[in-house]
């Protein structure tokens, strides 16, 4: 945005019964100026998020550290860092894909693009449910592994996976309600306002820090990645130091998360920490 650009007179918008006054800059930007301006906003938001939410001494600092540690464990699991068993590659490929969407989500969150980050969290949640199912149900594992090996379209859609988890009495925090909330952000006909994480009813898109949006992404992503990593560790690793590292990280992340973000559902983290403890029981 050129400096000292003239602005329009205030324009009234009405959002959910509340009047909001905004002024629009009266200037015709080139495409390059528009994109440069967006990049400037996004980068400034990222710096602000790091300084405010994750700075030294803040409760978020520990969450940020532990989430990074969890992502690095998942990254190593996906990259066969602790040893390669080619028959397990369907699992490692899925983890790597999940690491990719998590990296995208955390970056988008730092840019202030919270809805967009949450749409990626949904993908991590789908991976969590699939891994939780195949880790407990050998028939589903076989069906999934055969499909990947033969490059056939899987019948294990997110809906089928949730139905099987339900049938087998396996509790997952990525249940139909949570999945539906994450899904409604993806669709063009979504009935919710974009980026509505402030209390002034003004939707915002990117480049603007909103603490509720940032902590929500961190919470949902941390939870989904804890489930993914706990289930994958059990599928890939023999009991030992790597499993214990995963357990410590998930349990500590759960503890660190609670002061930062109120859990919308009480069972969310107990399920994740129980899975982590089952994967690496203490003697
Ligand atoms: Zn490998």
Domain ranges of the chain: 59-279
Q: How close is the Cα of 58 to the center of ligand 1, in Å? A: 39
273-283 pLDDT tens trace = 999 999 988 86
**pLDDT at residue 9, rounded to an integer:** 84
235 CA to centre of ligand 1 in angstroms: 13
Residue 186: CB atoms within 10 A of its CB come to: 14
pLDDT of residue 186 exceeding 80, the answer is no
Report CA(131)–ligand 1 centroid distance (Å).
Answer: 17
Q: How close is the Cα of 233 to the center of ligand 1, in Å?
A: 14
Distance CA 95, CA 27 (A): 46
For the residues 232-238, what does the mean pLDDT come to?
92
DSSP 53-114: TSSTTSHHHHHHHHHHHHHHHHHHHHTTTT---GGGHHHHHHHHHHHHHHHHHHHHHHTT-H
Q: What is the pLDDT of residue 262?
A: 78
Q: For residues 125 and 178, is the Cβ–Cβ distance under 8 A? A: yes
Q: If you average pLDDT over residues 220-245, what whole number do you get? A: 93
pLDDT, residue 267, reads 84
Cα–ligand 1 centroid distance for 75 (angstroms):
12
The whole-number pLDDT of residue 179 equals: 85
For the stretch 51-93, pLDDT in tens is 999 888 888 899 999 999 999 999 999 999 999 999 999 999 9
Mean pLDDT of the chain: 89
Residues in CB range of 132: below 8 A, 6 or more apart: 165, 170, 172, 227, 231, 275
Instruction: Compute the average pLDDT of residues 149-163.
Output: 90
The pTM of the full predicted model, rounded to 2 decimals, is 0.89
With cut-offs at 50, 70 and 90, classify the pLDDT of residue 140: very high
């Amino acid at each position: 945005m050129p400096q000292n650009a003239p602005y329009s007179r205030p324009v009234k918008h009405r959002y959910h019964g509340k009047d909001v006054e905004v002024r629009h800059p009266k200037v015709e930007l080139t495409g390059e100026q528009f994109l440069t301006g967006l990049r400037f906003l996004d980068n400034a938001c990222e710096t602000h998020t790091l300084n405010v939410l994750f700075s030294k001494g803040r409760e978020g600092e520990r969450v940020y550290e532990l989430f990074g540690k969890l992502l690095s464990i998942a990254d190593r699991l996906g990259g066969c860092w602790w040893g390669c068993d080619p028959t397990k590659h369907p699992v490692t490929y899925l983890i790597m894909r999940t690491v990719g969407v998590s990296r995208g989500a955390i970056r988008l969150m730092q840019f202030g693009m919270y809805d967009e980050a949450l749409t990626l969290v949904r993908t991590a949640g789908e991976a969590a449910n699939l891994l939780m199912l195949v880790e407990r149900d050998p028939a589903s594992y076989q069906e999934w592994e055969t499909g990947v090996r033969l490059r056939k379209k899987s019948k294990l859609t997110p809906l089928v996976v949730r139905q099987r988890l339900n049938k087998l009495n396996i509790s997952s925090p990525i249940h139909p309600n949570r999945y539906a909330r994450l899904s409604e952000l993806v669709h063009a006909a979504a009935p919710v306002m974009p980026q509505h994480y402030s209390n002034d009813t003004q939707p915002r898109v990117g480049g603007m820090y909103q603490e509720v949006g940032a902590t929500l992404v961190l919470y949902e992503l941390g939870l989904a990645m804890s489930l993914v990593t706990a289930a994958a560790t059990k599928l890939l690793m023999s009991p030992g130091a790597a499993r214990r590292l995963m357990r410590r990280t998930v349990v500590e992340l759960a503890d660190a998360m609670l002061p930062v973000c109120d859990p919308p559902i009480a069972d969310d983290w107990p399920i994740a920490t129980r899975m982590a403890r089952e994967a690496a029981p203490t003697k």
